[in-house]
Structure 1
Amino acid sequence: MKTSIQGQVFGIPIMKLGTKITETVKGKLSLGARILQVGGLKKVYKQLFSVTEEEKLLKAFQCYLSTTAGPIAGLLFISSEKIAYCSQKSIKFSSPNGELIRVRYKVVMLVSKIKRVDQSENAKKPSQKYIEIGTVDNFDFWFMGFLNYKKAFKYLQQAVSRV
């Protein structure tokens, strides 16, 4: 697989899949170096989201969140208490008073409020795999473009089954 850098989240490069393994390895090494510079994934997670004293970050994955406006690149964090996502780039929208505001797209789901984690794939392109997370209040979130889809799904299932 080839990986190329597609922007950054908090100084951490976001990868795009391709066909050359050497570029994938270079991208992963670059990602690791940047995470160390920021102070580690735990520090990045704590800066982005409200974290309790007993909460433990289990894993983080680069991926895309599927939205009606198209996929949004970012990081998916899996902790002992929540599943949280933050976009790579700020998104522009108009405030009620007409000002243009830029904010990062964030999603936070308490693990205790997740009713299912399902696998799915594009019927026309089976290599395009998705992970759907459904909450008890009937919201569905679709994540895709994982560098390691099976590992991401496994960690999500484990986090939800701990409750």
Structure 2
Amino acid sequence: MESENMEEVEKIFKQLFSVTEGEKLLKACQCYLSSTAGPIAGLLFISSQKVAFCSDTSIKIAAPNGELVRVHYKVPTPLEKIKGLNESENMEKPSQKYMEIVTVDDFEFCFMGFLNYQKGFKYLQQAIISKRL
């Protein structure tokens, strides 16, 4: 990303997610999060402290009072809560690659449809490794 574009993306990241002092956004990738309702398009943010996904469009959820409200689907995961990062591919279409994050409490998040899968995987892998050092 261009530096001015990255600054805009960093502003969006800070608006969407709580950011700790000294936390740096390393990379943002367009992709899809696999869900039981089907793939959800959005941005995967990789920072020095967390991996965070936010959907491009809002989804409808039931509020406590029963009304339907529209919210962006957000999944923040602290790097220290990530137990593993796995790669896989669609057996029928090997060009379709997936990356799966497994948390210490055994939640699994599967991301796919990256514009540049290898770069996204590399940044994510580096962020996880550097947090463990």
Task: Normalising by structure 1, report the TM-score.
Answer: 0.76
Match of 1:67, SS?
Answer: coil
Amino acid at match of 1:50: S
Indicate which of 43, 55, 58 corresponds to 2:26: 58
Amino acid at match of 2:101: I
Deviation at 1:96, TM superposition (A): 2.8
Task: Normalising by structure 2, report the TM-score.
Answer: 0.92
Indicate which of 20, 35, 38 corresponds to 1:70: 38
Indicate which of 59, 74, 84 corresponds to 1:106: 74
With over 3 angstroms needed to count, the CA separation of the structure-2 counterparts of 1:39 and 1:112, relative to structure 1, is closer
Question: Which residue of structure 2 aligns with residue 156 of structure 1?
Answer: 124
Match of 1:40, SS?
Answer: helix
Computing the radius of gyration from Cα coordinates, the structure with the larger value is 1
Superposition RMSD in Å: 1.6
Greater relative contact order, per chain length (Cα 8 Å cut-off, separation 6+): 2
The answer to whether structure 1 residue 40 and structure 2 residue 8 are counterparts is yes
Question: Which residue of structure 1 aligns with residue 51 of structure 2?
Answer: 83
> For residues 35-92 of structure 1, what are the alpha-carbon distances to aligned partners after superposition, in whole Å with 9 as ceiling and x for unaligned?
74x9511111101100011101000000000001000000000000000000000000
With over 3 angstroms needed to count, the CA separation of the structure-2 counterparts of 1:57 and 1:39, relative to structure 1, is closer
Deviation at 1:136, TM superposition (A): 0.3
With over 3 angstroms needed to count, the CA separation of the structure-2 counterparts of 1:158 and 1:85, relative to structure 1, is same
Match of 1:161, SS?
Answer: helix
Aligned length: 130
Indicate which of 84, 94, 113 corresponds to 1:126: 94
Question: For structure 1, which runs of at least 5 residues remain unmatched after alignment?
Answer: 1-27
Match of 1:162, SS?
Answer: helix
Match of 1:134, SS?
Answer: strand
Percent identity of equivalent pairs: 65
